[in-house]
Amino acid sequence: MAKEKPFVPPNEMPPRPIQPLLTGQKALVTGASKGIGEGVAVALAQAGADVLLNYFSDPEGAEKTAEKVRKAGRQALVVQADVAVEEEVQSMVARMIEAFGRIDILINNSGIQLNAPFDKMTLAQWQRVIDINLTGQFLCAREAVRVFKRQGIDKSISYAMGKIIHISSVHDIIPWAGHVNYAAAKGGIMLLMKSIAQELAPLRIRVNSISPGAIRTPMNLEKLTTPESYRDLLSLIPYKRLGEAEDVGRAAVWLASDDSDYVHGAVLYVDGGMVLYPEFASGG
Ligand code: BGC
């Protein structure tokens, strides 16, 4: 008997070019071995940036992303580091300076989920998610800001002294049962981002978040194996399609570029309207 083809949610977005808004810039992307990190790294490269690709546990994935960056004609440097460990973040940033001479853009992307019902959640599950998803963003942002301040502003590269983009989630405002460690970390990212933004605005260091909804990542594809599970997910997405990593990548290119120079301390939801309370579209 012929095996049935596994269900894969449709990709409705045609391939199309990315504008060269980041020519000559150097970007560091954490968690770049797959999913959103991969999509953002490749989009930044297509927009003209050389990219340091950080990974923690998937060297093959990181190497595949590196090939795509090189195919776009840009340099890729793959560096293993745990973003929750201060010394590892510091030596990763030192490698970036050695290889590329500077940092213009930090994409704080690394993130994990360790789900459990609230009363079953272990301290270790709580702590690891907070360490990677929140403390990791603090550590990488702090090191990037130290470099930005040493570099100063070079208007031939960018009007800003540096750009930090925190990759958060719609769960920075949507509570998520069974994922309280994850939602707490993402909620924390919002005020981490806004507080850094407030503090560093006078230096022209631009700090913003992108909060994606449901994106085609390995994590989500594991859950979307049947048309029914996809239909259930679409009931939460007014725009009625799964997001692509490239959707986030394109938003990151714009947010990292001088085209968004006056956008600061903002949360950009790239979520097909997921935060619009779709269950209220009829009723209430
Ligand atoms: C999670 C996804 C989820 C989405 C919307 C994201 O932060 O990583 O697994 O589909 O939020 O709930």
Of 259, 241, 111, nearest in space to 171 by CA = 111
Give the pLDDT mean for 77-105: 98
DSSP 133: I
Nearest one of 249, 279, 263, 269 to 21, comparing CA atoms:
249
What is the distance between the alpha carbons of residues 60 and 180, in angstroms, rounded to a whole number? Answer: 31
Q: Is 262 a catalytic residue?
A: no
Give the residue among 208, 247, 253, 210 at the shortest CA–CA distance from 47. Answer: 253
**Token pair of 239 as six digits:** 């725009």
Q: In the prediction, which pLDDT does 1 show?
A: 58
All domains of the chain in start order, with CATH: 26-216+245-269 (3.40.50.720)
Q: Report CA(182)–ligand 1 centroid distance (Å).
A: 10
What is the per-residue pLDDT across 206-231, written as a single tens digit (0 to 9) for each? 999 999 999 999 989 999 999 999 99
Is pLDDT of 5 > 90?
Answer: no
pLDDT of 4 reads: 79
| Mean pLDDT value across the chain | 97
- Give the residue whose CA is nearest to atom 10 of ligand 1: 214
Nearest atom in ligand 1 to the alpha carbon of residue 186 is 7
What are the pocket residues of ligand 1 if the criterion is a CB atom closer than 6 Å to any ligand atom? 169-171, 213-214, 219-220
What pLDDT digit, counting tens, does each position of 164-195 carry? Answer: 999 999 999 999 999 999 999 999 999 999 99
pLDDT at 248 > cutoff 90? yes
Contact predicate 15/244, CB 8 Å: no
How does residue 259 score in pLDDT terms, banded at 50, 70 and 90?
very high
Side-by-side strand order, sheet with 50-55: 76-80, 50-55, 26-29, 105-108, 162-167, 205-212, 267-270
Q: How far apart are CA 263 and CA 280, in angstroms?
A: 30
CA 220–ligand 1 middle distance (angstroms)? 7
pLDDT of 3 above 90: no
pTM of the model: 0.97
**Given 182, 230, 239, 262, the catalytic residue:** 182
Sign of CA dihedral 85, 87, 90, 92: negative
Residues 115-136 have a mean pLDDT of 98
- Alpha helix ranges (H) inside the chain: 35-46, 59-71, 86-100, 123-130, 136-151, 180-200, 218-221, 227-234, 245-256
